[in-house]
Chain A
């Protein structure tokens, strides 16, 4: 039956989707770090090459990417604390659901503090 999916997606709840998001942000941060290590190591090769590469980062597109990077790090860091508490705090399992929403709210507040300042720099509005 071609119209039907090849098996349904498992309908997990907050626990599963928070883990999926944790994995996605983790992989994204890893690839950023990979690029970051490569471009920083250019400075040992030749400062001119380093300057050339870094100057290409000063575009709105990369600026928006940095916004995404900060969002990913905020979520990954805070949810990482949640995972540690689930494993090693006696009541962590009981409050895992609440803790997820605390992570979301704290991440949003921190992001709201960062995003306007960053966007002003990116689009030279200041």
Chain B
């Protein structure tokens, strides 16, 4: 197969070394690094390399992925020290002269290899009431101007991958902190003109473990695979709290 590609002169292939953080709760050992030399193509993503390891080298490697195309948000992991979606990270964009380090996202309990317990993350999401709260019955669509929509358009893009929340130094040390993702999703409804419960969400986030724990490190903004300006959204919620309304 390799020669076929070479004949076509299409996609160059090369070998990269991946150091993957392994942890098996059943073998009684601590988490450890395991290295794999993987033959990859110039178009491959980190997820393709992980697939190759799982399918051809070591079937016990455990990680999450569903759509594999940057939509579902299942495969957030720490790649070379930064939170990324494995399916959106091209290997050729990394420094391939060095090994690629892949480890689970930080601040949530590791269940196995790259799989973490997402429940605390989802709980924070539930706590901010991520749904439309309106008193009238929807007999027709709720109209909204483009200007009104633009206030929260950025925060509708969230796919709940947890890359932002687990890049936050505050969240690493204080798991009670709502975290960037929950605040982003609160922002999405607080600034929605059709929603009537902004004050409720503002009250929830005006808490010791709410927006005031944000230390503006901008790790979340840098980590977001959807390009959401997370720190900006958090700052807007802080300002809304001071005003007492959106």
Contact = CB atoms under 8 A, between A and B. Distances in A.
B225 to A, nearest CB: 16
Which interface residue of A1, A10, A13, A88 has the most chain B CB atoms within 10 A? A10
Given A13-B219, A93-B231, 17 more contacts: A4-B19, A7-B106, A8-B80, A8-B81, A10-B78, A10-B82, A10-B106, A15-B219, A15-B221, A16-B169, A16-B219, A19-B169, A19-B215, A86-B231, A86-B235, A88-B235, A88-B238
B229 A10 contact: no
Interface in A1-38: 1, 4, 6-16, 18-19
Contact of A96 (B78, B101, B216, B219): B216
Given A86-B235, A93-B232, A93-B235, A10 B218 contact: no
Interface of B: 19, 21, 31-34, 78, 80-82, 101, 103, 106, 167, 169, 215-219, 221-222, 229, 231-232, 235, 238-239, 242
A93 B33 contact: no
Contacts of A11: 80-82
A83 interface: yes
Interface band, chain A: 20 to 34
A86 B216 contact: yes
B192 to A, nearest CB: 20
Main secondary structure on B side of the interface with A:
mixed
Contacts of A68: none
A86 B34 CA distance: 41
Contacts of B216: 15, 19, 83, 86-87, 96
A63 interface: no
Contact of B21 (A7, A9, A15, A94): A7
A1 B32 contact: yes
Interface string A80-124: 000100111000111010000000000000000000000000000
Contacts of B238: 87-88
Nearest to B214: A87
